[in-house]
Amino acid sequence: MTAIQVRGLQKRYGDHQAVAGIDLDVAQGEIFALLGPNGAGKTTTVEILEGHRRRDGGEVRVLGEDPGTAGQAWRARLGMVLQTATDAAELTVTETVRHFARYYPRPRNVDDVIDLCGLREKAKARVKSLSGGQRRRLDVALGIIGTPELVFLDEPTTGFDPEARRQFWGLIEKLAADGTTILLTTHYLDEAEALAGRVAVLAAGRIVAEGTPKSIGGRAMAEATVRWTDERGPQEMKTSTPTRLVNELSAGGRELAGLTVTRPSLEDIYLDLVGGSR
């Protein structure tokens, strides 16, 4: 039940070691986020998994096959949504999706895909008239029209406004609910936290942490910061036992104005993890 299995993956460009021996497992039906700063090796790793780039070392299996030697039947089981995509600007949305559907042996119903991607009202509109968010939805429609078992999403919401991003997240969650495996790369940490069941952080070609968004990098056990205001003014204290501290502070019915308890965010943990590699 493993969609992606990687052991000791390596890739070098001249003297630069882009990927330095990573191990990775992604389960079928999982949304997995690959995080890291620019130059960390994310794009190279994903391109190897997609079969677009040769590796220098290691073992890779994607949907049970080696991407370096897999054929057209294997490729038809994948969907890809790249950062930038070319399109036939003069075609309508329906014409574009129908055209791409012809490339696959088991395409989804064109109208169903248009509905799923929230493009019904734009079905007859020319692609050149779409907004940025609508074009991104069309990219996803083209990525899933072939009924893929695994979809690669490369920074899918870059440039989206907050409302468009939330709508897009809903689309991704629908795909996952249907059993589609999704590998997501993103620079938005809130996006990874909202969508992914697990994340891995790449830095300098190595995976420096892996786990759930709530636990990665020791986040779940990290010290909490308790802030409150009393007769002495604003107060702040870090503690590994925030509940005990709050109970002590409020003993005897004492009121604490502005009481908050916060643990490090995913962004805080991420920045600590990649800080030495930027």
Band (pLDDT 50/70/90 cuts) for residue 63 is very high
For residue 181, what pLDDT is reported?
96
Residue 116 within a domain? no
Give the range of the structural domain holding residue 232, as residue numbers without chain letter: 218-277
Band (pLDDT 50/70/90 cuts) for residue 275 is confident
278 has pLDDT over 60: no
Average pLDDT, the chain: 89
For residue 125, what pLDDT is reported?
95
Residue 236 within a domain? yes
> Looking at 14-23, 139-148, 195-204, 251-260, which range is the least confident one?
251-260
Q: Domain total for the chain?
A: 1
For residue 252, what pLDDT is reported?
73
Residue 78 within a domain? no
Residue 266 within a domain? yes
For residue 52, what pLDDT is reported?
92
Band (pLDDT 50/70/90 cuts) for residue 240 is confident
277 has pLDDT over 70: no
Residue 87 within a domain? no
For residue 267, what pLDDT is reported?
86
Mean pLDDT of the 147-151 span: 94
31 has pLDDT over 80: yes
For residue 85, what pLDDT is reported?
60
For residue 276, what pLDDT is reported?
53
Mean pLDDT of the 138-162 span: 87
For residue 56, what pLDDT is reported?
96
pLDDT 10s digits, 180-216 = 999 999 888 999 999 999 999 999 999 999 999 988 8
Residue 239 within a domain? yes
Residue 33 within a domain? no
83 has pLDDT over 70: no
For residue 8, what pLDDT is reported?
97
Residue 31 within a domain? no
67 has pLDDT over 90: yes
Compute φ and ψ for 271, nearest 5 degrees. -65, -35
Band (pLDDT 50/70/90 cuts) for residue 10 is very high
